[in-house]
Structure 1
Amino acid sequence: MKTDRLVGILTYLLQTDRATMPELAARFEVSRRTIQRDVDALCRAGIPLVSTRGGGGGVAIMDGYKLDRRLLSPGELQGILAGLRGLDSVSKTSSAEQFLQKVSARGEAPFSPDGDLVIDLASFYKDSLSEKIELLRRAIAQQELVRFHYYYGKGEADKRVEPYSLVFKWSDWYLFGFCTQRQDFRLYKLGRLWALTPAGEGFVPRPVPAEKRRFGSQMRDDYLVTALYCPAAKYRLVEERGPDSFSVAEDGRLLARWGFAGPEEALAWFLSFGDGAEVIDPPQMRERVREEAEKIAARHR
């Protein structure tokens, strides 16, 4: 809805110094002309927006502006605050406190910062994660290439990437960017990305195909494996696929037939159970698990 988008644009501008029309159009998945009409509508509503042209230009809210809390419901205010605190948990910013200042004006009842929703996006390597996020956000804003060393399942490589956005998905942080070596858009997990530095070279943002923005849409899970799990592993099955994703066999074990991205992903999954899982089908995966188990046993003799 247009009203939701207007509030979204206003909230986004409150937590950033400024944003370009292309940036807002991509963020809200509308045309630049639509964003321009939205900006005009906000100005007519009395929001003091300032537009500047040229390098480093864009749309910004005039310093000192405070958001009229009546535009948002208490639930929406708490949701925005929880989201900002989530971002603060992995960055060196204080967006939540700045937001509280912007929605707290003289003569109004104080807005309680405490809510029933807590979002903490940090991890056990918070310090290095925060540094990566801050550096990448600057590089994205300044349209500057970055370099880093990346670790894959089958090796490692030095990368040179055009950064486009930071993505929190599948319970982890990723960089979405254009790999200059592969000449394609890629997702890079921040936990595998090290020795991150600016490349000292700018780039002109290229159009991002819509399908590339649908993260995970090309990930397949058509490698089907049937297995029996010990009852003690029930919590893991529920966590992974839900309580209706398996049945109880006659011997009390849990029977499930799931799809995986491929044999390697399936193998890692079953090995993580030790002797708590038995592959039934396909025979090739059952043999792979047996071979790996024998290798592990031989190494520990």
Structure 2
Amino acid sequence: MKLDRMLGILTILLQKDRVTAPELAEKFEVSRRTIGRDIDAMCRAGIPLVTQQGSGGGISIIEGFKLDKSILTADELSNIIAALKGIGSVSGQSNVERVLDKLHAHADAVVSMREPVVIDLASHDGKHLAEKIELIKRAVLENRIIEFDYVYERGESRRRVEPHFVIFQWEAWYVFGFCLDRSDFRLFKLQRLWNLHLCDETFSPRDVPPKKRDFEAWAAKDGKHALIALFDPSVKHRLIDAYGPHCYQETGEGLRFETSFTKRDYILTWLLGFGDKVTVVEPRFIADDLKTVAVNILSRYS
């Protein structure tokens, strides 16, 4: 926290010619004595600050000293602001707003707060998602076990987990940790867990094997398969949305699309979304799955 505060003070001094200790104390919600210690520490670190007493006085960077503002360039600050706003979209606290306020730019600032990139990491269930993330963050920092109900492909179960961190990947939020019920590291999708409880029981963080840290490998744990399919030209825009403008070849039979997949249920659900606008060439088992689903749908409505 001290380092964050000192960075904030430095940012303000880059934006203003002079600022008073009471102003800094109020902004960072600390005492004037704490600000004084921060200024001393910054001077010892080689940043030449000067303090002037009396009316019109305050703290400033010594005249004639050029502090390289590329410590954080305009692009770097812009990226930080965009990232902070993204985290703020799923944060249940005002910490992010306070940090953004500390970086707030004035007319002569290093970077404008008009950030052209907007990142929104929230879901339709934004309020409950933020509550889960905040509770898990607390559990990680305090090394406390969490408990929750979880629904997955084979049913539902109650899990006890030693959380290590929260991850945003594959367009969703996950908690990664050591599952005490399975005696192994696991990823749990936050949208699939409920009745989340922070236990009093603590744990000593375990070393995570490098293989377990490879989160891309989690998606491929069921093996990789090749998919070849022919799509109707009318759904070209949907293919581009998912895989980009060069993901298909135009043929006399339609748009030939080739890719690989690891999760059978996911690719099946994705293909079903195209209705009769797609024909699977390979693999045969996916074509059979689509046929089975189509027959079941027909019987349901007949």
TM-score of Structure 1 vs Structure 2, range by shorter chain: 0.7 to 0.9
Q: Which residue of 2 aligns with 1:61?
A: none
> Which segments of 5 or more consecutive residues in structure 1 lack a partner in the other structure?
1-8, 16-40, 48-67
Q: Which residue of 2 aligns with 1:231?
A: 233
Q: Which residue of 2 aligns with 1:79?
A: 79
Give the number of aligned pairs: 248
> Which segments of 5 or more consecutive residues in structure 2 lack a partner in the other structure?
9-40, 48-66
User: Are residues 14 and 206 of structure 1, via their aligned partners in 2, closer, same or farther at CA, if it must alter by over 3 Å?
Assistant: farther
Q: Deviations over 1:103-147 (max 9, x none)?
A: 469997586322112211111111101110111111111110000
User: Are residues 110 and 261 of structure 1, via their aligned partners in 2, closer, same or farther at CA, if it must alter by over 3 Å?
Assistant: closer
**Percent of aligned pairs with the same amino acid:** 39
Q: Which residue of 2 aligns with 1:248?
A: 250
**Aligned-partner Cα distance in 2 for 1:169–1:272:** 22
Partner AA of 1:205 in structure 2: P
Per the normalisation by structure 1, the TM-score is 0.73
Please say if residues 174 and 189 of structure 2, whose CA atoms lie closer than 8 Å, have aligned partners that are also in contact: yes
The RMSD of aligned alpha carbons is: 3.1
1:185 aligns with 2:217: no
Q: Which residue of 1 aligns with 2:272?
A: 271
Q: Which residue of 2 aligns with 1:159?
A: 159
Helix, strand or coil for the counterpart of 2:242?
Answer: helix
CA drift at 1:79? 1.3
User: Are residues 108 and 250 of structure 1, via their aligned partners in 2, closer, same or farther at CA, if it must alter by over 3 Å?
Assistant: closer
* TM alignment of 1:1-301, pairs within 5 A: 45=45, 70=69, 71-103=71-103, 109=109, 112-220=112-220, 222-251=224-253, 253-301=254-302
Q: Deviations over 1:165-222 (max 9, x none)?
A: 0111112111111111111111111111111111221010011122222212343262
Deviates more, 1:229-238 or 1:69-78: 69-78
Helix, strand or coil for the counterpart of 2:217?
Answer: coil
**Aligned-partner Cα distance in 2 for 1:12–1:82:** 20
Which entry has the higher C-alpha Rg, 1 or 2? 2
Partner AA of 1:239 in structure 2: D
User: Are residues 137 and 179 of structure 1, via their aligned partners in 2, closer, same or farther at CA, if it must alter by over 3 Å?
Assistant: same
